[in-house]
């Protein structure tokens, strides 16, 4: 088996802002044990940059796909691969920052390949933010707006978690294994579909585990039921 895991809402509980997530005690130890049992065939597939994932899960490093596949690291010690992508116009970043500044509770998350406007703390702002982003993109076919949990993400077309899963599965130690993808959000549907298409499973957190705590409990049982 190869284990492919979303981060926010799957491994950790959703927080009001991305910077407020808490990595529960025992999670890193369980993931480390599972990585050993699976020969390293475990990866985090997230919208977050890989550097953020490393910092949150330190001192552990795993294979990872960051920013929905804009960056791929097929093993903890492997070089990060970045497909050629269009560059987000700087003015879009400025406008997104202005939107966040003008509406209390809105948080802008800048990424190397795109950006996200989070409105969990300002739920009424969702439609306005989407409209503003649509105005920015206009007829630009290089980028798209993706709905996430209380957020709108602008990202280059051609990257998603499904493509990230397929790229990871082409490299050792994932190659030749059966993928199991677990995620909780709209952005995870591509990853689930890719895992199924490769002969594996794609599981939604809410349906199979209830919530992130349920995923962690399952991982804990797996970790302690396998030989180290």
Q: Provide the annotated active-site residues.
A: 6
| CA atoms of 41 and 92, how far apart (whole Å) | 37
Residue pointed to by tokens 């390949």: 113
| CA atoms of 75 and 81, how far apart (whole Å) | 11
Residue pointed to by tokens 């895992």: 195
């Amino acid at each position: 088996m190869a284990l492919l895991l979303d981060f926010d809402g799957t491994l950790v509980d959703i927080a009001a802002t991305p910077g407020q997530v808490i990595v529960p005690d025992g999670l890193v130890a369980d993931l480390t044990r599972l990585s050993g049992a699976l020969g390293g065939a475990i990866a985090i597939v997230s919208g977050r940059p890989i550097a953020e994932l490393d910092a949150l899960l330190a001192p552990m490093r795993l294979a990872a796909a960051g920013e929905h596949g804009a960056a791929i690291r097929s093993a903890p010690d492997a070089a990060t691969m970045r497909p050629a992508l269009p560059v987000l116009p700087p003015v879009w970043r400025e406008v997104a920052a202005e939107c966040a500044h003008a509406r209390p509770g809105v948080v802008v998350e800048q990424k190397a390949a795109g950006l996200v406007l989070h409105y969990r703390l300002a739920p009424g702002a969702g439609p306005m933010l989407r409209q503003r982003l649509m105005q920015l993109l206009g007829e630009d076919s290089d980028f798209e707006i993706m709905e996430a949990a209380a957020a709108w993400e602008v990202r280059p077309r051609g990257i998603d978690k499904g493509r990230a899963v397929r790229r990871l599965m082409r490299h050792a130690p994932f190659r030749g294994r059966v993928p199991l993808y677990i995620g909780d959000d709209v952005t995870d549907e591509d990853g689930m579909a890719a895992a199924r298409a490769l002969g594996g499973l794609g599981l939604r957190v809410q349906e199979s585990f209830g919530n992130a705590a349920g995923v962690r409990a399952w991982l804990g049982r797996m970790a302690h039921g396998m030989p180290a």
